[in-house]
Structure 1
Amino acid sequence: MRLLVALGFILMVSSANAEIRPGFMADFSIGRSQYSTDSEPDAAFSAQLAYQINTHFAIEGQFVGLGLVTPMFAGWFEEKVKYTPESYYGISLVGNLPLNERFDLYAKLGVGRTLFSSSQKKYADYSETDTNLGAGTRMRLGQNWSMKFEGQYFNKAKVSTWLLGVGYHF
């Protein structure tokens, strides 16, 4: 509730024209990730660098930490090795749908590499090519700053992320 009141206050106070314009953007987000539906949620973060081509399209490079909290001795005493998705880096094409001068919806489609880590030290970690789909909303807080909320799904890793972040438009 406090977050909604704070966001409402920001909307009322901020009066600068904040339309989408071409240029570089950097975003940092934190949130939750979940590997399959029966696993516990985990902490996640994302760092993104993008170039806004025009009002409707951007190209984005991103790194996503898919799971940050793992038990220290997980898998040490199990007979069968388990591989868990740990991180993703890749490039995405982003489509924007401006709703007004402050808000827009976006969707993204990307490809990259996912690192899968082994639960046992004697087995090597490995990486695979992975695709991701995402959607979100962005609220511009002036000419340079913005807030966003997005969800992404990583196909091979079978991981969903929900992230809240801030961005800066250069």
Structure 2
Amino acid sequence: MKKQLFAAVVGAALAFPLFAQAEGAYIGANVGRSELKLSGDFGSGKDNKTGYKAYAGYDFTQNFGAEAGYVNFGKVKDSENNDSLSVDTSAFYVAATGTLPLNEQFSLFAKAGVSQNRTKFNVDAMGFNFNVSKNKTAALFGIGAAYNINKNLSAVAEYENFGKTLSVNGATVKADLLSIGLRYKF
């Protein structure tokens, strides 16, 4: 995980000068409520955590573009007596974006793409310990709205669904993110 984060930071640092020269390029960061839904033989439930994401994109036209980013959904922990469960999920994604400007200040947008989800799942119950760390590719879709504060800076609110992030031994985890943030357009 640290290697992936380091690679993303180095890649962004190397790409930053290119973005500065490219009209239509943007970077952003969001924070919000992530929801992880667990289901399987052990039961089902959902938990909300603070999630965040960092992303970069490029608008090819006023209506169409592409975006890539990293999302951390937070860590879910639950324990009862000597039994414990923890789920830690993150994702890298690439998506095509569509934007519908309503006026000079407001626009609506949607995205569809693919995410590479990484989930670490740990169950320690009745003396039995089960650890698994899996990658799963899933479809991603999202919708949102943007308010242009000025020519370069926008406030955004969006909902993204990352599908199943884990499916192993009858257990599944699904993740989504409802977030707000800032986007800077070069």
Q: Same fold (TM over 0.5)?
A: yes
TM-score range, shorter chain: 0.7 to 0.9
How far apart are the structure 2 equivalents of 1:75 and 1:89?
32
The answer on 1:42 being equivalent to 2:45 is no
Corresponding residue of 2:41: none
Corresponding residue of 2:112: 109
Aligned residue among 155, 162, 176 for 1:147 = 155
Tell me the SS of whatever aligns to 1:54.
coil
Tell me the SS of whatever aligns to 1:119.
strand
How far apart are the structure 2 equivalents of 1:75 and 1:63?
32
Q: Is the deviation greater in 45-54 or in 116-125? A: 116-125
Alignment of 1:114-129 (within 5 A): 114-120=117-123, 123-129=131-137
Cα pair 1:22 1:53 within 8 Å, conserved: no
> Cα RMSD (Å) of the superposition?
2.5
Corresponding residue of 2:140: 132
Tell me the SS of whatever aligns to 2:104.
coil
Corresponding residue of 2:182: 166
How far apart are the structure 1 equivalents of 2:162 and 2:116?
10
Tell me the SS of whatever aligns to 1:41.
strand
Post-superposition shift, 1:97?
0.4
With the length of structure 2 as denominator, give the TM-score of the two structures.
0.70
Cα pair 1:145 1:167 within 8 Å, conserved: yes
| Distance verdict in 2 for CA 1:93–1:76, change over 3 Å | farther
Q: Which amino acid aligns with 1:86?
A: T
Post-superposition shift, 1:83?
7.2
Corresponding residue of 2:73: 66
Cα pair 1:31 1:164 within 8 Å, conserved: yes
Corresponding residue of 2:63: 56
**Which blocks of at least 5 consecutive residues in structure 1 are unaligned?**
1-20
With the length of structure 1 as denominator, give the TM-score of the two structures.
0.76
| Distance verdict in 2 for CA 1:76–1:84, change over 3 Å | farther
Cα pair 2:88 2:121 within 8 Å, conserved: no
Q: Deviations over 1:33-77 (max 9, x none)?
A: 111294221110011100111100110001111124x43x75994
Cα pair 2:88 2:119 within 8 Å, conserved: yes
How far apart are the structure 1 equivalents of 2:66 and 2:79?
37
- What's the % identity of the aligned pairs? 24
- Matched pairs, number: 146
| Distance verdict in 2 for CA 1:56–1:75, change over 3 Å | farther
